[in-house]
Amino acid sequence: MIIKSAEFVTSVANENKLQDFGLPEFAFVGRSNVGKSSLINALTNRKKLAKASSTPGRTRLINFFKINNAFMLVDLPGYGYALASKAEQSKWQALIGTYLEHSTRLQRVFVLVDIRHEPSEKDKQMLEYLYYYNKPFNVIATKADKIPRGQVDKQLTIIANALSIGKDNIIPTSTESKQGTDKILQIMESLIQI
């Protein structure tokens, strides 16, 4: 799939403001600073479509982007940001939960984990949550360019074992080299048949 157009549509801070855009949706979720915004930018070939920051916890809203006037990419708030207050963290969790449970257009959730680290308890909880609500997902291992190429397979095995999934179900990606982006776009294309 070739992305010809990508535009920011809206940000939502409150679950009561969530709306149906009438298009298939693909959501990106993961810990703060795992690279959700950077991956969206790499997929769309737009450097500043999604605001990426070196400061964790910047995405505090659900951000919607319309792609090719055919589907939506949905950037969910990062979880596990330790410096956020408990009240703020629970607000984000409610926002994420409401979206994931109630979006009737959601085709796939892409769960991002950092390839350099073993998945956290919050990552494991996210997968349990998706299993419980029967939401289809793929795990994406970000920042593959940050480790030696020979270490990638070993790290994928560690992630697969921690999350109790097959290693082949994990897509290693790099926003620098665009590694893995074609595979993600193929998954999207197969689900919406454009």
Mean pLDDT in runs of 10 for the chain (194 residues)? 93 87 96 91 91 57 94 88 56 81 94 96 93 95 94 96 95 94 96 77
Closest CA to 123 of 80, 82, 76, 94: 80
Q: What per-residue confidence (pLDDT) applies to 57?
A: 47
d(CA 55, CA 104): 32
106-114 vs 62-67, strand pairing mode: unpaired
d(CA 67, CA 65): 6
Q: What per-residue confidence (pLDDT) applies to 15?
A: 83
Q: What per-residue confidence (pLDDT) applies to 59?
A: 53
Q: What per-residue confidence (pLDDT) applies to 14?
A: 83
Helical ranges in the chain per DSSP H = 36-44, 86-102, 121-132, 152-163, 181-192
Q: What per-residue confidence (pLDDT) applies to 167?
A: 93
Q: What per-residue confidence (pLDDT) applies to 87?
A: 60
6-12 vs 62-67, strand pairing mode: antiparallel
Going along the chain from its start, the domains and CATH numbers come out as 6-192 (3.40.50.300)
Q: What per-residue confidence (pLDDT) applies to 82?
A: 47
